[in-house]
Amino acid sequence: MQFKVIITRDFEQMSKFGAGLVIENIRQVLHTKDTYTLGLATGNSPTGLYKHLAGAANEGIFDSSRIRSFNLDEYVGLPGENVQQRALHPESYGFFMIQEFFGLLKRKFKETNVPWGTLIDQGKLISELDANPADWRADGTDKGKAIVINTNAKSEYLRWIRASILDAYAEKISQYGGIDLHIIGVGGRGHVAFHESGIPFEGNEMLLVKLDDNTVENAVKDGHFASKEESPSYAISMGAELVYQARTVILLANGIRKTEPIAESLLNDPTPLVPISYGKIYAKQGGRMIYILDKAAAEKVLQHADAIRRQGIEIEDLSRA
């Protein structure tokens, strides 16, 4: 099993060390093929790593023009009169990536991909779901649900979403030979991207997710949207089943809020209630799983290090280095 946990002092050491691993992998892979495929996440955790990667690319340490990227997720229902306005909304994940990474590069990536959630009209989606209840099912045991659209749905709009927004994104990744390395974060309940707690692992490569009301309310409380009406109610996301098809997965986690889900994913058996726990299945199947944590996120890992090591998971503490 290739599963390693690396503990760092703080956000900066976590970011710098993680960037070093990514750069090393990029350089190795580009010796054997023309284009490197990189999986990317949004959120606070990878922002420092992205700055280090951009700096290395701008110094010529690796050729960013030979990289193709695929992001994890994107909102459906961002404010805006049309696709362009939604895609350029300051809370869109596409905008985030331009601001935090793509815009820092002197030589741009060969191609960038963010799930095509902004193409969907949320009002039309809701009306079609309401009018065609036999065309779909809600999958999951908690409040956030995967909306699984039947391949033979009667609604033309719902069929289009299934074929052209969801399945097509996974198929495009497959066409390019899969993702070489995927950078992910972790939510407070152990979710990866919008693969929310309780959504099954299997049969959900790309997800249309009905967001938990609490997620929507928190987006308003945190100042991302002016009101609940303006906050998206749906999102498009890679599911764990697709995320963990990458040849290497690097999970970044910093801060006390991540302590519990990190510990649960390492100490207990894999469960959809903690989506990142799929990493154990992935590692046993031959994937290369690496956690890079700051000391706060690793608090319980250090407390239960022996129990974790007994499962064949390696722990390296760099926080005193």
pLDDT, tens only, 103-115:
999 999 999 999 9
Examine residue 270 and state whether it is found in any structural domain, yes or no. Answer: yes
More confident residue, 230 or 107: 107
pLDDT digits (tens, 9 = 90+) for 149-188: 999 999 999 999 999 999 999 999 999 999 999 999 998 8
pLDDT band at 216 (very low <50, low <70, confident <90, very high): confident
Strands 234-238 and 288-294: unpaired
Contact yes or no for 243/192 (Cβ under 8 A): yes
Strand partners, 8: 294
**Helices (H), ranges, 45-167:** 47-58, 83-87, 93-100, 122-131, 156-160
| pLDDT > 80? residue 311 | yes
Counting every residue written for the chain, the total comes to 321
| pLDDT > 80? residue 218 | no
pLDDT band at 212 (very low <50, low <70, confident <90, very high): confident
Examine residue 140 and state whether it is found in any structural domain, yes or no. Answer: yes
The count of structural domains within the chain is 1
Examine residue 99 and state whether it is found in any structural domain, yes or no. Answer: yes
How is 267-313 classified by DSSP, letter by letter? HS--BTTBGGGHHHHHHHTT-EEEEEEETTTTHHHHHTHHHHHTTT-
Q: Return the DSSP state at 182.
A: E
pLDDT band at 224 (very low <50, low <70, confident <90, very high): confident
Contact yes or no for 52/97 (Cβ under 8 A): no
Range of the domain at 128: 2-316
Residues 58-66 have a mean pLDDT of: 98
Examine residue 321 and state whether it is found in any structural domain, yes or no. Answer: no
| pLDDT > 90? residue 134 | yes
Examine residue 120 and state whether it is found in any structural domain, yes or no. Answer: yes
Examine residue 271 and state whether it is found in any structural domain, yes or no. Answer: yes
Q: Tell me the percentage of the chain whose pLDDT exceeds 70.
A: 100
Within 10 Å of residue 90's Cβ, how many Cβ atoms?
9
Alpha carbons 117 and 89: distance in angstroms, whole number = 12
Alpha carbons 227 and 220: distance in angstroms, whole number = 6
Q: Which pLDDT belongs to residue 61?
A: 98
Examine residue 39 and state whether it is found in any structural domain, yes or no. Answer: yes
Q: Which of 177, 247, 178 is nearest to 25 (CA)?
A: 247
Helix 11-29 vs helix 47-58: crossing angle, to nearest 10: 50
Domain at 111, CATH number: 3.40.50.1360
- Angle in degrees, CA 240, 281, 169, rounded to 5: 25
Examine residue 9 and state whether it is found in any structural domain, yes or no. Answer: yes
- CA–CA distances in Å: residue 232 to residues 118, 154, 158, 181, 205: 11, 25, 18, 29, 21
Contact yes or no for 237/152 (Cβ under 8 A): no
